[in-house]
Amino acid sequence: MASRNIPIKYTEIFINNKFVKSIDGKVFSVIDSANEQKICDVQEGDEADINLAVEAAKNAFRFGSPWRTMDASKRGSLMYKLVELASRDKDYLARLETLHNGKPLAESQADVEFSIGCLRHYAGWADKIHGSVIPSDGPHMTITRKEPVGVVGQIIPWNYPLLMTAWKWGPALATGCTIVMKPSVNTPLTTLHMAALSKEAGFPDGVINIVPGRGSTAGNALSKHMDVNKIAFTGSTAIGKKIMKVAAETNLKRVSLELGGKSPLIILPDADIDEAVSFSQDAIYVTMGQCCSAGSRTLVHESIYDEFVKKSVEAAKKRKIGDPFEKDVNHGPMVSEKQFKRVMSYIETGKKEGAKIETGGNRWGTKGYFIEPTIFTEVKDSMEIARDEIFGPVQLIFKFSSMEEAFERANRTYYGLAAGIVTKNIDSALMFAQKVQAGSVWVNCWNSQRPQTPFGGYKESGFGRDLGEEGLNNYLETKTITIRVPQKNS
């Protein structure tokens, strides 16, 4: 295995621009899932630490504070500075990401570029958030102010730790909010490094605070806190529901959720089969299937089905599994033992339910949480593996005879995060784009989220959008101001 000579600089809770230990002294271990070795210990935050962090964020947000009185363009300048520093450290960040997450280094490098692009995009929005001047009835001048919503809690997952940090910080900082972020206990390290960079960039004390910890303790504390004005969560649908419930029970903090998916990719008969196979493989195997927007249901027209399955099996077998730091490896381990067990259990379920394994289905090697790229066919829509989000490298290939049938089946799910279609036919593409109940529709591509494109779910995949101008809406509160005037003129 390649040497892991990656110095870990930041392993503590970050509050008011200082790294501090947890109040009760707890720590948790971060594991390298490629070799099952401990990387380091990190301070574990609980409710008391969350309370301190929220206090700091609230103070940084008080009326008259440096952050509140700062020019909007200056918020943008600080963000551009953060971009500069992240670019300076991008090689280190990519390696650190692969170390604690397990994804191939090339994927981490792409994540770093996307993260930088996202922060850059939002740096540009800072001084472009406009309210309105409204011709209201009566002798009035009516304007709307778009204010930052306030102290925002941000709970991010382990599959794209750095990217999710950027997706959340971007709009929050551009709009002028202050942040308490809880990264996953699986993958806190790149977020903590970014925290250090934010201090170096010059963000005032308390604008960004990071409390690594568990969902049931730190996450729960954040969700119920009476001084947190808004919570943003990316993770499973089950936890998303809990968070929404807790928010309602406490102070009605605004909620945005980016949850799971069981996204369909439809291959029409006029598709180029090689291209379609390539898309569908990327759609399911990127990050070893640990992607909310994974294309986990591939629906193929019966006329090209057999060839598609054959070529998919060939392509899956060609994936190079191994140490994610090694060149040419494009398939790493699952993020943790727990996730590994969960996916293996679904594979067993699939076999028991009567689906056919075309390739894979086993653990790879004896050390590290590796699962072979797996393909199931003869899957019925009613099977558990067809309905539940597996979150692993398990492709399900379904057959359909008519386009209408495919579109119907695409929508038969509680989820609605993404959907794709491979076809040259403009009518088919546009009809699908209208009909499918998904927040992102990809035509002849997959995972085309970019800093500019809003992303989020229909139905139980969540609500609210990340990225683009829309991403700002989660972090704004509209205040309508009406001034009586002696006489209104148009």
The single residue among 4, 21, 124, 143 that binds another protein, judged by CB under 8 A, is 124
Q: Encoding tokens for residue 484?
A: 């009586």
Taking the C-alpha atoms of 429, 433, 437 and 441 in order, what is their torsion angle to the nearest 10 degrees?
Answer: 90
Min dist. Cβ of residue 10 to another protein (A): 28
The single residue among 130, 138, 252, 366 that binds another protein, judged by CB under 8 A, is 130
Q: Which segments of 16-172 are extended strands (E)?
A: 18-20, 27-32, 37-43, 133-134, 140-148, 151-155
Min dist. Cβ of residue 456 to another protein (A): 17
Taking the C-alpha atoms of 116, 118, 121 and 124 in order, what is their torsion angle to the nearest 10 degrees?
Answer: -70
Q: Does 131 bind another protein (CB under 8 A)?
A: no
Helix axes of 105-125 and 90-101: crossing angle, nearest 10 degrees? 120
The single residue among 75, 100, 120, 225 that binds another protein, judged by CB under 8 A, is 120
Q: Which segment (74-82, 250-258, 308-316, 359-367) binds another protein by CB under 8 A?
A: 74-82
Distance CA 28, CA 31 (A): 10
Taking the least distance from each CB to another protein, the nearer of 226 and 483 is 483
Q: Does 427 bind another protein (CB under 8 A)?
A: yes
For residues 209 to 248, the per-residue mask of contacts with another protein, x marking binding by CB under 8 A and - elsewhere, is ----------------------------------------
For residues 259 to 298, the per-residue mask of contacts with another protein, x marking binding by CB under 8 A and - elsewhere, is ----------------------------------------
Q: Does 487 bind another protein (CB under 8 A)?
A: yes
Q: Which segment (154-162, 234-242, 303-311, 479-487) binds another protein by CB under 8 A?
A: 479-487
Q: Does 73 bind another protein (CB under 8 A)?
A: yes
Taking the least distance from each CB to another protein, the nearer of 257 and 410 is 410
Cα 350 → chain centroid? 27
**Which amino acid is located at 47 in the chain?**
E
DSSP code string of 2-56: ----------SEEETTEEE--TT--EEEEEETTTTEEEEEEEPB-HHHHHHHHHH
DSSP code string of 309-356: HHHHHHHHHH--BS-TTSTT--B---SSHHHHHHHHHHHHHHHHHTPE
Q: How many residues contact another protein, by CB under 8 A?
A: 31
Taking the least distance from each CB to another protein, the nearer of 381 and 405 is 405
Taking the least distance from each CB to another protein, the nearer of 171 and 392 is 171
Long-range CB contacts (within 8 A, 24+) of 238-242: 239/215, 240/462
For residues 135 to 174, the per-residue mask of contacts with another protein, x marking binding by CB under 8 A and - elsewhere, is ------x---------------------------------
* CB neighbour list of residue 340: distance below 8 Å, 6 or more residues apart: 33, 333, 334, 363, 369, 371
Taking the least distance from each CB to another protein, the nearer of 29 and 73 is 73
Min dist. Cβ of residue 430 to another protein (A): 5
Min dist. Cβ of residue 134 to another protein (A): 14
Min dist. Cβ of residue 276 to another protein (A): 23
Active site residues: 258
Min dist. Cβ of residue 432 to another protein (A): 11
Q: Encoding tokens for residue 17?
A: 């621009």
Q: Does 430 bind another protein (CB under 8 A)?
A: yes
Find out whether 287 and 334 touch, Cβ atoms under 8 Å. Answer: no
The single residue among 45, 206, 451, 462 that binds another protein, judged by CB under 8 A, is 451
Find out whether 47 and 217 touch, Cβ atoms under 8 Å. Answer: yes
Q: Does 76 bind another protein (CB under 8 A)?
A: yes
Buried b / exposed e along 160-189 (16+ C-beta atoms within 10 A): bbbbbbbbbbbbbbbbbbbbbbbbbbbbbb
Q: Does 80 bind another protein (CB under 8 A)?
A: yes
Q: Which of 261, 222, 257, 240 is nearest to 415 (CA)?
A: 261
Distance CA 69, CA 83 (A): 23
Q: Which segment (48-56, 122-130, 278-286, 380-388) binds another protein by CB under 8 A?
A: 122-130
The single residue among 60, 126, 151, 222 that binds another protein, judged by CB under 8 A, is 126
The single residue among 9, 128, 318, 363 that binds another protein, judged by CB under 8 A, is 128
Residue 106 CB-half CA count within 13 A: 10
Q: What is the DSSP-derived secondary structure letter of residue 213?
A: B
Q: Does 485 bind another protein (CB under 8 A)?
A: yes
The single residue among 51, 435, 437, 441 that binds another protein, judged by CB under 8 A, is 435
Q: Which segment (127-135, 191-199, 257-265, 270-278) binds another protein by CB under 8 A?
A: 127-135
Min dist. Cβ of residue 303 to another protein (A): 21
Q: Does 434 bind another protein (CB under 8 A)?
A: yes
Taking the C-alpha atoms of 231, 232, 233 and 237 in order, what is their torsion angle to the nearest 10 degrees?
Answer: 90
Find out whether 368 and 99 touch, Cβ atoms under 8 Å. Answer: no
* CB neighbour list of residue 427: distance below 8 Å, 6 or more residues apart: none
Min dist. Cβ of residue 111 to another protein (A): 17
Residues that bind another protein (CB under 8 A): 72-73, 76-77, 80, 117, 120-121, 123-128, 130, 141, 426-427, 430-431, 434-435, 451-452, 469, 483, 485-489
